[in-house]
Structure formats: structure tokens, C-alpha cells
Structure 1
Amino acid sequence: MAFDNTFWALIGLILFLALVAYLKAPAMMTKALDKRAHQIRNELDEAKELKEEAKRQLAEFQRRRREAESEARDIVAAAQREANGLLEDAHRKSDEYVTRRTQVAEQKISQAEADAIAEVRASAVNIAVDAATRILTERNVGGDARMTDQSIEEVRRRLN
């Protein structure tokens, strides 16, 4: 019986397969593949958890942003109300100040008018007394000058 190359190739293949079976290569390959599949599954689960955490954080940040925007709007509205109140208060105080200043000016004008009238009266009284004195003095040439002076003083006192 002659052994050709095909026979020896078959023997080599059988020996190789026996060696592979003996060394449990398929089990090792299956174990390595299972281990790799388990790692990939763990990585996928971790990626899903990270994705869910990212979604939660995104939702939290969006909620905070909405709250911050709402708070900012409230702050702006409060500042606007306060500014309007201050503006109205300033207008009111300005109007009150103008009213007081107008009243003071009117009082000063009234006082000046009263002073002018009093001064004109006093001047008119003095002129009238002087004229009366001259007339009485001229008419009462030889008479009692003391009585004339008393009369003039009494008139002056009553008119002032």
C-alpha cells in the first residue's frame, strides 16, 4: 500500500483536529467570544445608563434654565415696577415742590404788595400831616402852637 500525499494530508488534518480538540481550542474560542460579548453587553448597558443620565441632566438643566429665565423676568418686572414707582414719586414730589415754591412766591408777592401799600399809606399820611401842619400853622399865626402840635401828633398816631 502506497501512501500518497493526500493520505499524509489527511493524517495531518486528523492530527491537527485531534490536537485542537485535545487542547480544547473550540471551548477557549467560545469562552473568549462569550467574554468579548459580555464586555460588549456591559459597555452597551453602561452607554445606555450614561445616555439616560445625560437625558436626566439635560432635563434638569433645561428646567433650571426655564426657572432662571422666569426668575429673570420676575426680577425685570419688579425692577420696572420699582422704577415706575420711583418715577411717579419723583413726579409727585416735583409737583409738590413747584406748588410750595409757587405758594411761597405768591406769599412774597402779597407781602410785597402789602408793604408797598403800607408804605404808600404812610407816605400819604406824612404828606397829609405835613400839609395839615402847614395849613394850621399858617391859619393859626398867633394862636396856641402847643395845641396844634398835639393835634397833629394825635392825627399822625391814628393814621399810622
Structure 2
Amino acid sequence: MPEVFATSEAQIEVADAHGGAGQHASPELLGLAPYQWVSVAMLVLLLIAFLGAKVHKTVAGGLDAKIKAIKNNLDEAKQLRAEAEALREEYAAKIAGAEKNAEAMLDNARREAEGIVAKAETDTAAMVARRERMAQDKIAAAERTAIDELRTRAAEASTRAAAQLIAANHDAAADRAMADEAIASI
């Protein structure tokens, strides 16, 4: 039986037989070195796995499923991006519309404020004019009252003065002469 593993004793014997120079003996089986046997074993295992167990179909199926999932994720990402772009454009349009509406509202508010101010000025001017007329009417009424009062006082004063003059200058004989004259005229 051939020796599979070389030992240190076998190396010493080999060294003595060849003239003192030691050579290392590699183990071999059927003329193949250990690394060759490992390669053969891997080849056989892979052939059994791929041909016998059809692992390649399982691996390919798994890879195909993974590729399909990645494609689906990419398609979904593209769709989400398109939706996001549409939403961004929609909100940009809404913002622009809101800015236009705000400007329109400000312009409208300014116009209304100007109208209110103009109406207030007109109303104020009309109120001032009414109050001036009322004041003038009150002044005119006060003047008429004062004039009437003066006329009344003047009439009373002249009546009193006339009564005093008549009383002072008119006696009983003058009264008879006036009475006779009045009766004669009838």
C-alpha cells in the first residue's frame, strides 16, 4: 500500500538514499496532487448541483425575481417622481394664483378705501354745509326775534311817550272838542 502522508522519518530515509540532499515528497493519489483532487471534487459537485439538482434554474429564477422587483421599484419610483412633479407644478400654479388673488384683493381694498374716504369727505362737506345753514338760520331767527323785540319795545316806548305827551298837552276842553267833532261826522 502506498504511503499517503509523508512523515519526517520518510524524508530522512529519502535523503539518505539520494546522497544526503533532502527532497520533499508530496503525497499523491492516482498521480494527482491534493489541489488537483480539490479541483476535481469542486467540478463534480458543481456538475451535480447544476445538472442534477437544477440549481441554476433556482438561481436564475431568484435573480429574475430580484430583477423584476428592482424594475417594479424603478417603475414605481418613476411614477412617484412624475406625481411629485405634477403636485409641485400644481402647487406652484396655486401659489401664483394666490399671489394674483392677493394682489387683486389689495387693489380692491385700496379702491374701496379710496371710495370710503371720498364718501366721507363728501359727507363731511355736506354736514358742514348743513350745519352752516342751520347756524345761519338760527342767526337769522335770532335777528328776527331781536328786531321784533326792538319793534315791540319801540312801540311800547312810543305809546308811553305819546300817552305822556297827550296827557301833558291834552286837557278836558280838547277832549270835548274831539268828541263833538266825532259826533258831527256821524
Give the structure 2 partner of residue 56 of structure 1. 86
Superposition deviation, residue 94 in structure 1:
1.6
Structure 2 segments unaligned to the other structure (5+ residues): 1-28, 180-186
Give the structure 2 partner of residue 67 of structure 1. 97
Residues 2-21 of structure 1: matches in 2 within 5 Å?
A: 3=30, 4-6=32-34, 8-21=37-50
Q: C-alpha distance in 2, partners of 1:111/1:13?
A: 134
Superposition deviation, residue 48 in structure 1:
0.6
Residues 8-157 of structure 1: matches in 2 within 5 Å?
A: 8-22=37-51, 23-142=53-172, 143-144=174-175
Q: Measured at CA, do residues 127 and 10 of structure 1 come closer, stay the same or move farther in structure 2, by a change above 3 Å?
A: closer
Q: Percent identity?
A: 29
Q: C-alpha distance in 2, partners of 1:10/1:65?
A: 71
Superposition deviation, residue 5 in structure 1:
4.0
Superposition deviation, residue 12 in structure 1:
1.3
When the two structures are superposed, what TM-score results if normalisation uses the length of structure 1?
A: 0.80
Greater relative contact order: 1 or 2 (C-alpha under 8 angstroms, separation 6 or more)? 1
Structure 1 segments unaligned to the other structure (5+ residues): 149-160
SS in 1 for 2:148: helix
SS in 1 for 2:171: coil
Count the aligned residue pairs.
147
When the two structures are superposed, what TM-score results if normalisation uses the length of structure 2?
A: 0.70
Letter in structure 2 aligned against 1:16: L
